[in-house]
Amino acid sequence: MPNNRIFYAIHSVAIKDNDAAGTNEVVPIQPGVDVNPSGRWEVVRGAQSVGMTTTFNFEQVFQLGQIEVYEFVELEPEIEFTIERVLDGTKPLWFMTTGPRGGVTLVERTADYKIDVAVPVYRDSQTRATGLPISMCYG
């Protein structure tokens, strides 16, 4: 039986502020800089794995006097995005995924802050994840 497997050898993961304008620009790596106020994509350094899980929640609605379900109401989906990375002394993920200003505690920095995450895929003939990707998954 043949083994049909898709392997994307060269890919990365990038994060940007959800409120920022749409862009394809990536922030240059700046050692010692902990915030990205520009609204551009920022590549996660030392990423080992990336995963995404989506759960669609439904609520059953019954009609008075009936046994069968009258309607399924779709609730807001739950989306979980996990990134595993090595602790290498570069900017921690918490600085990349929390608000750059206005909060002292972690709860204040994450309360209303939303981010976009992208996983660009590059040609397997490249040695680094740079330049124009052949495909990109983001949301």
Judge whether 3 lies within some domain. no
Domains: count for the chain: 1
Judge whether 28 lies within some domain. yes
Judge whether 110 lies within some domain. yes
Judge whether 17 lies within some domain. yes
Judge whether 95 lies within some domain. yes
Spatial distance between the Cα atoms of 112 and 91, rounded to a whole number of angstroms: 21
Judge whether 123 lies within some domain. yes
Token output for 39: 């609204």
pLDDT tens for the chain, 139 residues: list them: 566 666 656 778 888 888 777 776 666 555 555 555 567 788 888 888 888 888 999 888 888 888 888 888 888 888 888 889 888 888 788 777 777 666 777 777 777 778 888 888 888 788 877 777 788 787 7
Judge whether 100 lies within some domain. yes
Residues 46 and 90 sit within 8 Å (Cβ to Cβ): yes
Judge whether 1 lies within some domain. no
Question: pTM score, two decimals?
Answer: 0.66
Structural domain boundaries enclosing 38: 10-138
